[in-house]
């Protein structure tokens, strides 16, 4: 009888611990989603959805000076704003919401549970500069193209699954001006590239071969942005699962190398 009761108590304790663990994980997941929502509504317009910054606000995801700040310091910045800058006070959000958005910012900064990486980064580098043709548009550590974004630090603050999804399911860009543009002049000549600068009277574009062209809008017949982004959407079929893992591993390791180099420079 005592043995049966002891077994029951052991099972009860194990189930209780498991329930507490599940509840804690659900609470963390809920907090992350809440923080992401608050960030996207209040912060992303200036700092970008990934926290990497934009024309309106600085990079708060991978900048070392921001990463070094304590949670209390970041909460104070969110609550009180920064005098003399474009950073407003978000005191109205309340302390719990501010703490939640700071926790989400830590997620963007890469303070999350690490995932086991599969694949070979050396093979991934060969794919990046070879079969996958990523280097035709992207650059890593000073090598590659310059039409699309520099991926040297892209995987910093992102999980391996996020990097993999960005490769296999890039989706259409919500901003058509991040897509390729086709410019047709009054004489009927066409140019394809990306817009680098634009105002009410002129448009500067960079072609895929790197050359720049400056056009007066009054002399153009048409300016058409392609509906799809420059990022190919067929890597899921062009590359095997193993090859995609190799690419992911290469990008993650490249970002880690950049972060280590920056840390060494900061300590000098």
pLDDT at 256: 74
C-alpha span between 189 and 185 (Å, rounded): 5
pLDDT, one tens digit for every residue, the chain (268 residues) = 455 555 555 444 444 544 444 443 444 445 667 888 888 889 988 998 888 888 888 898 888 788 778 888 889 999 999 888 889 999 999 988 888 888 888 888 876 544 567 889 999 999 999 999 999 889 999 999 888 888 988 887 677 888 888 898 876 444 555 678 899 999 999 998 888 888 999 999 888 777 899 999 999 999 998 877 778 888 888 999 999 999 999 998 888 765 444 443 444 4
Question: What is the Rg, in whole angstroms, of the alpha carbon atoms belonging to the chain?
Answer: 24
What pLDDT is recorded for position 234?
86
Q: Please say whether the beta carbons of 126 and 250 come within 8 A.
A: no
Cα-flanking dihedrals φ and ψ of residue 240, to 5°? -80, 165
Note the pLDDT of residue 27.
43
Maximum separation of any 2 CA atoms in the chain, in Å:
97
Rounded distance, CA 235 to CA 226, Å?
20
pLDDT of residue 137: 87
d(CA 148, CA 167): 14
Question: Can you state the percent helix, strand and coil of the chain, rounding each to 5?
Answer: 50, 15, 35
Distance separating alpha carbons of residues 45 and 47, to the nearest angstrom: 6
On whether the CB atoms of residues 180 and 230 are closer than 8 A, the answer is: yes
pLDDT of residue 154: 85
The domains found in the chain, sorted by start residue, are 25-108 (1.10.760.10), 121-171+233-267 (1.10.760.10), 176-225 (2.30.30.100)
Residue of 212, 185, 208 whose CA lies nearest to 197: 212
């Amino acid at each position: 009888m005592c043995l049966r009761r002891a077994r029951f108590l052991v099972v009860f304790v194990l189930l209780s611990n498991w329930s507490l663990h599940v509840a804690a994980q659900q609470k963390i997941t809920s907090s992350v989603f809440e923080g992401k929502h608050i960030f996207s509504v209040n912060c992303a317009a200036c700092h970008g959805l990934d926290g990497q910054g934009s024309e309106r606000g600085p990079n708060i995801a991978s900048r070392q000076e921001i990463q070094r700040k304590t949670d209390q310091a970041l909460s104070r910045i969110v609550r009180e704003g920064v005098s003399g800058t474009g950073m407003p006070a978000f005191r109205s959000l309340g302390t719990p919401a501010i703490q939640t958005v700071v926790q989400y910012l830590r997620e963007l900064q890469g303070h999350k549970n690490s995932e086991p990486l599969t694949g070979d980064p050396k093979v991934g580098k060969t794919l990046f500069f070879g079969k996958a043709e990523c280097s035709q548009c992207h650059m890593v550590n000073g090598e590659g193209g310059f039409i699309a974004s520099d991926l040297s630090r892209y995987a910093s603050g992102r999980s391996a699954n996020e990097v993999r999804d960005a490769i296999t399911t890039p989706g259409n860009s919500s901003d058509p001006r991040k897509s390729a543009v086709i410019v047709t002049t009054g004489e009927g000549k066409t140019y394809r590239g990306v817009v680098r600068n634009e105002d009410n009277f002129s448009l500067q574009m960079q072609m895929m071969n790197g050359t720049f062209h400056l056009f007066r809008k009054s002399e153009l017949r048409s300016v058409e942005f392609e509906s799809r982004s420059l990022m190919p959407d067929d890597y899921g079929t062009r590359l095997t699962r193993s090859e995609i893992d190799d690419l992911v591993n290469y990008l993650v390791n490249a970002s880690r190398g950049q972060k280590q180099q920056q840390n060494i420079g900061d300590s000098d």
